[in-house]
Structure 1
Amino acid sequence: MSSPVRTAYAIARTTRPRQWTKNVLVVAAPLAAGVEWNRGTILAVVGSFFAFTLAASSIYLLNDAIDAEDDRRHPRKRLRPVAAGELGTRTAVLASVVCAVLAMSLGWLVDRDLAMTLAVYLVIQILYVVWLKEQPVIDLSIVAAGFLLRAIAGGVAVDVPLSQWFLLVASFGSLFMVAGKRYSELRSVGSGAGTRRTLEVYSESYLRFVWSLAAAITITAYSLWAFEISDGSGINWQAVSIAPFVMGLLRYAVDVDHGLAGEPEEAVLRDPVLQIIGLAWLVVFAVGVYSS
């Protein structure tokens, strides 16, 4: 392959296509609100997905350029293109800028509020990459905010109100995943590997406390939300959806407890039972929302 082709391939790998699945969260708010899936709504949600994919890719490129030295000490991250010397640092930064500009442009075309959401995401994630990832607790909050902003983005793109329960479930569900991710990292590489400075501060018991607390609040908030949005007639499908929701969270917690959730999207993709539970929850919840 020619050098430009190798560079393009290295850039594509650095954007972490497997993690694009996180951006499906933009569907959450429109689904929860029971919007009519017409052409305009679909275009707005799809546009939000690609805009967030570009924004996240920008951050991944910048992060790998800055963290190249630390990544070389990690058993898996050392294979990333920048750390492995397949992609130059300056090229990665330039590609990051291009992705950020494209993300903001697409976000603006879809909706101005979406563009503002993307701007907030980019600013806090850049601060995280440059400095805040070394600050215990704050690093967990910022990564969780990235998940939350994805969920918010879908709502602002189609102009639907975001309920307090939706925001609580999204916030603490995100914190549960992030704390589980850090717990898995600590279990797999240890605190002294030098791959992430906050791992030298966190203990397994502390991170277990965080993800357990976040899971409890997520389940409580979801349960209260499910009963609130029910219209009280016929089968309460929202209440029924609590069962697969809790089962899915507990199934994912098994991976967290065994230190296998360092990459949340991979933990989900390699667990067909979790996927079936997730699909069951989605069907039951959608029936409840669209039949009321």
Structure 2
Amino acid sequence: MTETAPLTNGARSREAALLEQRAPERTPTPPLKRTPATLLTGLLRTARPKQWIKNLLVVAAPAAAGELFTRPAIPRLAAVFVLFTACAAAVYLVNDARDADADRAHPAKRHRPVAAGQVPVPLAYAVGGLLGVLAPAAAVWLVSPAVAALLTAYLGMQLAYCVSLKRVLVVDLVVVTTGFLMRAVSGGLALGIPLSRWFLITTGFGALFMVSAKRYSEAVQMAGKAGATRALLTEYTTGYLRFVWQLAAGVAVLGYCMWALEEGGLPHTSVLPWRQLSMVAFVLAVLRYAVFADRGAAGEPEDVVLRDRALAVIGLAWLAMYGLAVANW
């Protein structure tokens, strides 16, 4: 067995020169300067403004009951929208602070403000905690104790999800779905509107349809790329997730039809049975969305809804018909 002779100084210098020529040039990353403006921008980005559209679900129950544009409804629903946005932002801040180290190793998540160092971890925890305390407290004064209790339950459930529930099979789907359902229920609580059982079934299973379709799309896109996204996805099979979103879509359609037929049976003076006709648009919207789910392209529900023109047209048609039904025209 022979030993390798130690390199002379000249050999070392030649080897170093060769390595420098072969290695790609790396521009040193300049130190991140934190200013009040960059901190505010980072906090706003962490609050996920793109996700705020989900909080529009607070108008679902009042719209269904025909009380969306009454005098007390507008300020109360605006307050509920802002408070739910604050609670969601609190959860995002705490989640990103908790996952900062793991996010830095992720190709996409490493650009998040907390992971990138734009927002310090202690500041993210502090702002998230402050929002989580202030939002339910403000709800007692601005809306009602019932809405404050709902927001508190939402925060507790979402924080539990961040800590451990997101790693529990099936429970993760239930928690995210329940978050959507809570948004829809909050509008009814704010105005004291009784919630139809069919409304709850349609909203709950409609949310499960979109959540499971998103998970299915992520699972399809990460095939052969373990570790590139949610770790729990490796525990699900695409067949199981497909079964869940197909089941949820079917129940949501059935619930909506029962809801529309139940309400449509009441006396009305409108020219056409708009509520029953809206079933056609609702079913078409579900079928159109299912096209993207089946392709594994429903990763971001808001992108699907906003970018697909056909789905947007169907959605507008549904809104028009349901609006005419509520207005009894």
TM over 0.5: yes
Question: Which residue does the alignment assign to 1:227?
Answer: 261
What is the identity percentage for the equivalent residue pairs of Structure 1 and Structure 2?
Answer: 45
Query: Mean alpha-carbon deviation: is it higher for 27-36 or for 102-111?
Result: 102-111
Number of matched pairs: 292
Question: Which residue does the alignment assign to 1:282?
Answer: 319
Q: Which amino acid aligns with 1:193?
A: G
| 110, 115, 128: which one aligns with 1:78 | 110
> Is it true that 1:128 corresponds to 2:131 in the alignment?
no
Distance (whole Å) between structure 2 residues aligned to residue 70 and residue 277 of structure 1: 40
| 65, 87, 96: which one aligns with 2:97 | 65
Q: Which amino acid aligns with 1:149?
A: M
1:37-76 alignment, distance < 5 Å = 37-76=69-108
Q: Which amino acid aligns with 2:79?
A: G
Q: Which amino acid aligns with 2:57?
A: L
Distance (whole Å) between structure 2 residues aligned to residue 27 and residue 15 of structure 1: 21
Cα deviation, residue 259, structure 1: 2.3
Question: Which residue does the alignment assign to 1:179?
Answer: 212
Question: Which residue does the alignment assign to 2:182?
Answer: 149
Q: Which amino acid aligns with 2:243?
A: F
Distance (whole Å) between structure 2 residues aligned to residue 188 and residue 98 of structure 1: 37
Question: Which residue does the alignment assign to 2:244?
Answer: 210
Aligned residues of 2:61 and 2:184 also touching (Cα < 8 A): yes
**37 and 7 in structure 1: CA distance in 2 versus 1, 3 angstrom threshold:** same
Cα deviation, residue 238, structure 1: 1.1
Distance (whole Å) between structure 1 residues aligned to residue 220 and residue 35 of structure 2: 39
Aligned residues of 2:212 and 2:245 also touching (Cα < 8 A): yes
Return the TM-score normalized by structure 1: 0.95
Distance (whole Å) between structure 2 residues aligned to residue 75 and residue 285 of structure 1: 43
**198 and 283 in structure 1: CA distance in 2 versus 1, 3 angstrom threshold:** same
> Is it true that 1:7 corresponds to 2:44 in the alignment?
no
| 152, 160, 170: which one aligns with 2:203 | 170
**255 and 72 in structure 1: CA distance in 2 versus 1, 3 angstrom threshold:** farther
Aligned residues of 2:222 and 2:228 also touching (Cα < 8 A): no
Aligned residues of 1:51 and 1:107 also touching (Cα < 8 A): yes
Distance (whole Å) between structure 2 residues aligned to residue 5 and residue 271 of structure 1: 35
Question: Which residue does the alignment assign to 1:26?
Answer: 58
Question: Which residue does the alignment assign to 1:241?
Answer: 278
Q: Structure 2: which 5+ runs fail to align?
A: 1-32
Return the TM-score normalized by structure 2: 0.84
Question: Which residue does the alignment assign to 1:17?
Answer: 49
Q: Structure 1: which 5+ runs fail to align?
A: none
Cα deviation, residue 175, structure 1: 0.5
Distance (whole Å) between structure 1 residues aligned to residue 112 and residue 324 of structure 2: 42
CA deviations over 1:179-231 (Å, ceiling 9, x no partner): 01111211223461153221111011110000000000000010011000012
User: Which protein shows a greater Rg?
Assistant: 2
Distance (whole Å) between structure 2 residues aligned to residue 219 and residue 232 of structure 1: 24
Cα deviation, residue 67, structure 1: 2.1
Aligned residues of 2:165 and 2:171 also touching (Cα < 8 A): yes
Distance (whole Å) between structure 2 residues aligned to residue 21 and residue 72 of structure 1: 27
Aligned residues of 1:73 and 1:193 also touching (Cα < 8 A): no
Aligned residues of 1:70 and 1:196 also touching (Cα < 8 A): no
Distance (whole Å) between structure 1 residues aligned to residue 296 and residue 117 of structure 2: 29
Aligned residues of 1:70 and 1:194 also touching (Cα < 8 A): no
Q: Which amino acid aligns with 2:135?
A: A
Query: Mean alpha-carbon deviation: is it higher for 266-275 or for 123-132?
Result: 266-275
Q: For 1:198, what is the secondary structure of its paired residue?
A: helix
